[in-house]
Amino acid sequence: MTINQSFQLFNLATMSGVFPGARTQTFQRLRLQPLQAPTGETRWAQVLWYADPAACVVYLQNNAQDERAATPLLRLAEPLTGDFNQQFQTALHQAGWQLQSCGSCRFWQILNQRNVDQLPTGRCVWQQAVEESVAVPALLATQTNLALSCPHWQLAGLIEPAQNSALLPQQMAPMRKAAEISESKLPYWHRAWKQLIRWGQAPIPSKIWEEKLIERSGVGAGTEACFACQGRIANLGALAVETAEGDKQTFSVWRCRTCYTTYLNNWIDRWERLDNLETEETYYRVAPAEALALLIMIDDVVGGDHPGRRRERHPQRGHFLHFMQGRTPLSHQIKQGR
């Protein structure tokens, strides 16, 4: 590991660099905690990745009163050679910072898998949000080492190289998408045969969350960007309720297709009541077990994503409001159409 204060943000040979609104050849946002600071104080940082030569560079979030943000905090050459999680945390320690992400959490257990960006992945074993008899599906529990920390993050002990680092990492399989498994994609006679077989039979709902867990956002990319890696997040479940003012409110669970970070979204539509077409949206980071607990509640409401019967769901709305109480949102914005 070397700290190069003169490292250029742009590739002067090709005049390429980082542009607003674009996902670079990989870009992450991280929370960092100063080693010599009071407990709880954190700073946002950016991780920029380069291919020629291979390197990852960390910059503190811009702060007009902090000159350190103008120069790289650290630079790792050939970062994905060996145990990246251990190398990255060690380098940050030498620079006076503690990584606050899944890879430094004591509830994160490394797996012999990598995501599409070749980052190491691990399984989140925190499970207090659900009963011990309910296992969090592997796809939902998996988080990359740079996934944003959740409210239950606890610093792990001594940083050690992964025991399975010598094994050939496997590529993690993507989550199933609703549009890909829909019968509407089948030939007409195949669909008719399936409908004939099911005729007169009551549908048998799946009780295994490994089978019920699918992306509802379709085959293509989702419409929202991940707060951690700027990848696309996909919707896993939604529940429409009604606010005290009579507005439509939708609670939904999301998961990033790239770093696997899980989120809770709270969206309020005031279009019908206000002339300014106002909407309010808030995102929260949730642990995989919390995401499952919320999905279980959503799944218990038949047609929960349809707003037609939203007035009947006040108990469910109260549960979500209680869940969000006291949590710090990642994003909160109010928009007006006119």
Confidence (pLDDT) at 189:
61
**Span 99-121, average pLDDT:** 93
Q: Which of residues 171, 196, 220 is at a domain's end? A: 171
Q: Are residues 256 and 148 in the same domain?
A: no
Q: Tell me whether residue 267 is in a domain.
A: yes
Give the CA radius of gyration of the chain: 22
Number of domains composing the chain? 2
Tell me the pLDDT band of 3, cut-offs 50, 70 and 90. very low
Q: Are residues 182 and 327 in the same domain?
A: yes
Cα atoms found within 13 Å of the Cα of residue 79, Cβ hemisphere only: 27
Tell me the pLDDT band of 20, cut-offs 50, 70 and 90. very low
Q: Which of residues 122, 138, 171 is at a domain's end? A: 171
Q: Are residues 66 and 92 in the same domain?
A: yes
d(Cα 127, Cα 133) in Å, to the nearest integer? 10
Strand 248-256 versus strand 74-77 pairing type:
unpaired
Tell me the pLDDT band of 315, cut-offs 50, 70 and 90. very high
Q: Are residues 120 and 193 in the same domain?
A: no
Tell me the pLDDT band of 7, cut-offs 50, 70 and 90. very low
Q: Tell me whether residue 199 is in a domain.
A: yes
**Span 88-95, average pLDDT:** 94
Q: Are 225 and 283 in contact (CB under 8 A)?
A: no
Confidence (pLDDT) at 133:
73
Write the burial class of residue 192 (CB in 10 Å: 0-12 exposed, 13-18 middle, 19+ buried). exposed
Q: Are residues 159 and 303 in the same domain?
A: no
Q: Are residues 137 and 223 in the same domain?
A: no
Tell me the pLDDT band of 93, cut-offs 50, 70 and 90. very high
Q: Are residues 90 and 197 in the same domain?
A: no
Task: Kindly report the pTM of this predicted structure.
Answer: 0.82
Q: Are residues 215 and 149 in the same domain?
A: no
Share of the chain above pLDDT 70, in %: 74
Q: Are 254 and 142 in contact (CB under 8 A)?
A: no
Confidence (pLDDT) at 207:
65
Q: Are residues 187 and 328 in the same domain?
A: yes
Residue range(s) defining the domain that contains residue 164:
27-171
Lowest mean pLDDT among 62-71, 117-126, 211-220: 62-71
d(Cα 327, Cα 232) in Å, to the nearest integer? 23
Tell me the pLDDT band of 18, cut-offs 50, 70 and 90. very low
Q: Are residues 206 and 281 in the same domain?
A: yes
Q: Are residues 155 and 230 in the same domain?
A: no
What letter represents residue 231's amino acid?
A: G
Confidence (pLDDT) at 278:
87
Tell me the pLDDT band of 82, cut-offs 50, 70 and 90. confident
**Span 290-306, average pLDDT:** 92
